[in-house]
């Protein structure tokens, strides 16, 4: 039997006044017991008619979608072009540094996908290019950076000897990257 929620709320209140437990009310209405408990506590605070008015008006207004300011989108696209197709983490870093804006990396990629075709890194059986083969130590070093908030970690692994090294730096700049390579 389908009923409107306002009818179910009224029935729940009438059953509560007759001494029926919330669990039995919830079972008979097909609702969760916590939902019935919330209804009854709100009715006790406000009264039945006031609660029904509030409940009805809360359901009328559609929720607005969360939008990103178009200016921020332009900044993200500009940083992407200016920094030679850099990744979302670096765009996040430059937004924080230049405009003092914090935005999540998934949201940055969502904005980038509006203008660019973003290739998935996890596609299987896709040709990725030549894999370098090292014949001696320090010939090929794989590098990456990690953002820890106010500090950045430059990491590197020598693929021949499997030695790893790390440099902690206050900024994500090429100067610190060069210092890290000199250190390895």
Question: What is the full per-residue pLDDT of the chain (184 aa) written as tens digits?
Answer: 456 888 999 999 999 999 999 999 999 999 999 999 999 999 999 899 999 888 888 867 777 777 888 999 999 999 999 988 888 899 999 999 999 999 999 999 999 988 888 766 566 666 777 878 888 888 888 888 888 888 999 999 988 888 889 989 998 888 888 888 888 7
Tell me the backbone φ, ψ of residue 18, rounded to 5 degrees: -85, -5
Task: Give the pLDDT confidence score for residue 85 in this predicted structure.
Answer: 82
The number of distinct structural domains making up the chain is 3
Task: Give the pLDDT confidence score for residue 74 in this predicted structure.
Answer: 93
Residues 42 and 76 in one domain: no
- Report if residue 65 sits inside a domain: no
Contact between residue 111 and residue 76 where contact means Cβ atoms under 8 Å apart: yes
Residues 41 and 81 in one domain: no
Residues 44 and 81 in one domain: no
The residue segments making up the domain with residue 20 are 5-58
Task: Give the pLDDT confidence score for residue 3 in this predicted structure.
Answer: 66
- Report if residue 132 sits inside a domain: no
Task: Give the pLDDT confidence score for residue 116 in this predicted structure.
Answer: 84
Contact between residue 31 and residue 4 where contact means Cβ atoms under 8 Å apart: no
Residues 53 and 75 in one domain: no
- Report if residue 124 sits inside a domain: no
Residues 19 and 41 in one domain: yes
Residues 54 and 13 in one domain: yes
What the block records as the tokens of 32 is 């969760």
Task: Give the pLDDT confidence score for residue 1 in this predicted structure.
Answer: 40
- Report if residue 134 sits inside a domain: no
Residues in the chain: 184
- Report if residue 122 sits inside a domain: no
Last residue of a domain, one of 58, 81, 98: 58
Residues 54 and 77 in one domain: no
Residues 43 and 79 in one domain: no
Residues 53 and 74 in one domain: no
Distances (CA, A) of 143 to 84, 132, 156, 169, 171: 18, 14, 4, 14, 16
């Amino acid at each position: 039997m389908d009923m409107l929620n306002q009818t179910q709320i009224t029935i729940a209140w009438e059953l509560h006044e007759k001494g029926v437990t919330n669990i039995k009310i919830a079972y008979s209405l097909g609702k969760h017991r916590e939902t019935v408990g919330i209804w009854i506590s709100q009715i006790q605070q406000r009264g039945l008619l006031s609660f029904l008015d509030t409940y009805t008006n809360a359901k009328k207004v559609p929720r607005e979608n969360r939008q990103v300011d178009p200016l921020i989108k332009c900044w993200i696209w500009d940083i992407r072009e200016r920094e030679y197709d850099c990744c979302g983490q670096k765009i996040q870093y430059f937004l924080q540094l230049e405009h003092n804006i914090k935005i999540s990396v998934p949201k940055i990629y969502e904005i980038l996908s509006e203008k660019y075709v973003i290739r998935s890194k996890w596609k299987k059986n896709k040709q990725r290019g030549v894999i370098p083969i090292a014949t001696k130590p320090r010939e090929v070093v794989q590098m990456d950076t990690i953002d820890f908030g106010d500090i950045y970690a430059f990491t590197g692994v020598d693929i021949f000897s499997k030695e790893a090294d790390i440099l902690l730096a206050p900024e994500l700049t090429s100067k610190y990257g060069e210092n890290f390579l000199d250190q390895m």
